Amino acid sequence: MDKFTKVTGVAAPLMRQNVDTDLIIRIERLVDNVTREGLGPYAFEQIRFKPDGSEDPDCIFNQTPYRDAPIILSRENFGCGSSREGAVWALKGMGIKAVIAPYFGDIFNNNCFQNGLLPVALPIHEIEQLADEMKASPGNARVTVDLENCQVISPTGRTIPFQVDARRQHAMLNGLDDIALTMSRRDEIEAWQTSDKSARPWIWL
């Protein structure tokens, strides 16, 4: 997994509720033989492009300076819907390193931690203020997301703390793979399975 420690850059305010994973990546793009890394151009295609394929200038991701933003600001329930991990790969493909929203779809949240993309949960009023600060000084405003110290630094220098599970923070800072950690507990798993085979044999038929 990719390590994540800190990111500083433009934060694009995609200020809508319930940004679902269908909106982030269309399912057909995951059927087509596109690589994980190649999904970036298709991220948010339904709002980035008009039906004729041209860019929609109203979309935040087509506006300067947000076009190259490594951070997204959004409203409640970001990443709800389908379990497709392609949504996280597409965000990473378009250069997103962190998403800040009041809360996230549960499976999406897990998928982020598996791929080194940081979901940061902050109260909505903080996110609205971050968006306002971004818009107040377009061109030079920057947001920092610091996982080591669990804080967001706003364009005006305010520090906003956020919470993250200690286990996940450690894994992400060090780019650790969950499977390797679990594999080290193989004996415990096998002991559980042996005991379950006599307790619930019908599971193992």
Partner 1 sequence: MGKTLFDKIWDSHVITDLGNGFVLLHIDRLLLHDMSGGKALKEAIEKGYPPSQPRLIYGTPDHTMSTKPGRTEHTHPPGLPLIKSMRETTSAYGIKLFDLGQDGQGIVHVMGPEQGLTLPGTTLVCGDSHTSTHGGLGALAFGIGSSELVHVIATQTMVQRKPKRMRASFEGKLLPGVTAKDMILHLIGELGTAAGTGYSVEYAGSGVRALPAEARLTLCNLTIEMGARTGMVAPDDTTYEYLDGRDYAPKGAMWDRAVAHWRTLPSDPDAEFDREHTIDMKNVAPQITWGTSPEHVIAVDRAIPDPGKGPEEKRGAWEAALKYQGLEPGKPIEGTKVDWVFIGSCTNSRISDLRAAAEIVKGRHKADHVTAWVVPGSVRIKAEAEAEGLDRVFTEAGFEWREPGCSMCLASNGERVPPGQRSVSTSNRNFVGRQGPGARTHLASPAMAAAAAIKGAIADVRKM
How far, in Å, CA of 163 to CA of 146, rounded?
11
Q: Token pair of 77, please?
A: 């329930």
Q: Which of 60-68, 139-147, 148-156, 184-192 is the region at the interface with partner 1 (rule: CB under 8 A)?
A: 184-192
Q: Is residue 55 near partner 1 by the rule CB under 8 A?
A: no
Q: Is residue 107 near partner 1 by the rule CB under 8 A?
A: yes
Q: Is residue 27 near partner 1 by the rule CB under 8 A?
A: yes
Answer for which of 138, 188, 194, 197 binds partner 1 (CB under 8 A) is 188
Q: Is residue 103 near partner 1 by the rule CB under 8 A?
A: yes
Sheet holding 98-101, edge to edge: 11-14, 71-74, 98-101, 118-121
How many chain residues touch partner 1 (CB under 8 A)? Answer: 55
Distance of CA 176 to the CA centre of its chain: 17
Q: Token pair of 131, please?
A: 């968006």
Q: Is residue 161 near partner 1 by the rule CB under 8 A?
A: no
Which lies closer to partner 1 via its Cβ, residue 9 or residue 105?
Answer: 105
Q: What is the DSSP letter of 78?
A: B
Q: Is residue 139 near partner 1 by the rule CB under 8 A?
A: no
Instruction: With CA atoms as reference, report the closest residue to 15 among 81, 71, 60.
Output: 60
Which is it for the CA torsion 106, 107, 113, 117, positive or negative?
Answer: negative
Q: Is residue 17 near partner 1 by the rule CB under 8 A?
A: yes
Q: Is residue 115 near partner 1 by the rule CB under 8 A?
A: yes
Contact 19, 79 (CB under 8 A): yes
Q: Token pair of 47, please?
A: 């709002």
Q: What is the CA radius of gyration of the chain?
A: 19
Q: Is residue 34 near partner 1 by the rule CB under 8 A?
A: no
Q: What is the DSSP letter of 203?
A: G
Q: Is residue 28 near partner 1 by the rule CB under 8 A?
A: yes
Footprint on this chain of partner 1 (rule: CB under 8 A): 16-18, 20, 22-23, 26-28, 30-33, 46, 51, 76-77, 80-86, 88, 103, 105-108, 110-111, 114-115, 165-167, 178-179, 181-183, 185-186, 188-189, 192-193, 196, 200-205
